[in-house]
Amino acid sequence: MKQRHWLNFIDGKWCDSDARFELLNPATNQSIGTIAKASVSDAAAALAAARRCADSRLLSSVRPAERVKWMTRIAQEIRVLADEGAHVLCAENGKTVPEALDEFLEAARYFEYYGGMADKIEGVSIPLGNGYIDFTVYDPMGVSLQIVPWNFPVSICARALAPALAAGNAVVVKSPELSPLGICVLFEAIERAGLPDGAVNLLCGSGREIGSYLAARREVDQIVFTGSVPTGQTILKLAAENATPCVMELGGKSAALVFPDADLDQLIASVRMGIFFNAGQVCSAMSRLVVHRSIYDTVVSRVEDLATGLSVGNGADGNDLTPVITARQLNHIQQMCQRAQQEGAVLVTGGEALSDSQGNFLRPTIFKDVSPEMNIAQEEVFGPVLVIMPFDDEPEAITIANSTAFGLVAGVFTQDLNKAMRCARLLRSGQVFVNEWYAGGIEVPFGGVGLSGYGRERGQEALYSYVRTKNVAIKVAGE
């Protein structure tokens, strides 16, 4: 990728700033370019532009079919730029080009999906008897502040941006410092669709500086945050000052329950994606495998074979296991692995960095004989690290799965539908996968319970996070 200086997008224009971030390729730790670092005054300008756009009602008072056209055009333009964007995202984030391309195609799907709903946001009529007419309308929230993490920056950005625009909101996106460039390409596609100035604004700046500044502003009508628990908690405290409604998409420590009748080929394919896709840097990663004792040794051995068979290296060369985002994160994960061993977990494979590389590569890592109270079984690692725990009966499996403070997703592997349904009811999580990790798609609601957050993204349900209900009650004379 050619070195380039990237800009922020404020009030319909690409804008530079005095300061800049340098961006490193996690596979090489070489610079791939710079991006303007948005200041607090840039953030104020973006927020003012979004506020003006929301107050002008240019987005919300047009005939909804116009918003459908904008959304359709954006989806088309994303597809045009997807290949170029995939190479940029691969370089800044370390993922493979096909995985990066999938992010752009998923982003396009969000605009198609929510574009299809933009003219169907219908209220209801409520019968109150003679003398009254009563109905509800869904108004847009106004200005939606969307704070995005680095692990799937393009698709997560589109996940919130598309329903917000479909409902007629203006948006300020705060992109992640570590991987902001793919989102710039996404915005180049959006710019081509000709939205009113101020409808979408993009700021890459320090989370602590401009993220906090924006989250505390009264002019923000809603915050959609995707990221870590501590940052989410900070934002919630800032939002509390103005009672700003929030959607919180936070971390996870999700468990897959494996029963003796599970199809192990199906399971291993799910482990491959569940914990090693995107180097395990997935909020809904399968980070805990909870396996019936009768098949425990077999599963450990099959998962070990899977892990040791993966190629580890640069995503640009199509390797199976790509780098983690920074050298600091690599170091943090290794420390968690050391602590796991000190607490008595048995390292099956991995736990160490690739020695002959400049990049941030951790070998695929598996721990067995882990007990539920160990740190490695409780805390999100956000890397390619799987813990495998045994259970003896169904209630114990559920207890282990529900034993963390998180509750994003969970999985059940069994041929017995009754057992799968019993578990699905008892698992404390926002989504349950049966026999395939990541089954589902953008059409189904996604979000957590407990420390994994609240509110839902994806699916029809998510659209209603971006509107507020207004009721109109009319006294009709003479009835």
Catalytic residues: 249
Say how many C-beta atoms besides its own lie within 10 A of residue 478's C-beta: 4
Rounded distance between C-alpha atoms, residue 385 and residue 287, angstroms: 7
Cβ nearer to ligand NAD, comparing 77 with 221: 221
Cα-based distances in Å from 19 to 16, 47, 72, 174, 350: 9, 20, 36, 16, 40
Q: Please name the residue ranges forming H helices in 404-451.
A: 417-426
378-417 residues labelled b (16+ CB within 10 A) or e (exposed)? ebbbbbbbbbbbbbeebebbbebbbbbebbbbbbbbbeee
Cβ 271 to ligand NAD shortest distance, Å: 19
Cβ nearer to ligand NAD, comparing 68 with 235: 235
Cβ 478 to ligand NAD shortest distance, Å: 54
Rounded distance between C-alpha atoms, residue 382 and residue 365, angstroms: 12
- Site residues (CB under 6 A) for ligand NAD? 147-151, 156, 174, 176-177, 207-208, 211-212, 215, 226-228, 231, 234-235, 249-252, 283, 380, 382, 408
Cβ 235 to ligand NAD shortest distance, Å: 5
Residues forming beta bridges with residue 15, ordered by sequence position: 8
Cβ 80 to ligand NAD shortest distance, Å: 26
Helices (H) and strands (E) in the chain, counts: 14, 20
Rounded distance between C-alpha atoms, residue 336 and residue 358, angstroms: 21
Cβ 224 to ligand NAD shortest distance, Å: 10
| Burial class of 259 by CB neighbour count within 10 A (0 to 12, 13 to 18, 19+) | buried
Cα-based distances in Å from 390 to 257, 398, 407: 10, 12, 20
| Burial class of 241 by CB neighbour count within 10 A (0 to 12, 13 to 18, 19+) | exposed
Cβ nearer to ligand NAD, comparing 227 with 384: 227
Rounded distance between C-alpha atoms, residue 402 and residue 422, angstroms: 14
Cβ 145 to ligand NAD shortest distance, Å: 9
Cβ nearer to ligand NAD, comparing 226 with 404: 226
Cβ nearer to ligand NAD, comparing 176 with 372: 176
Cβ nearer to ligand NAD, comparing 151 with 414: 151
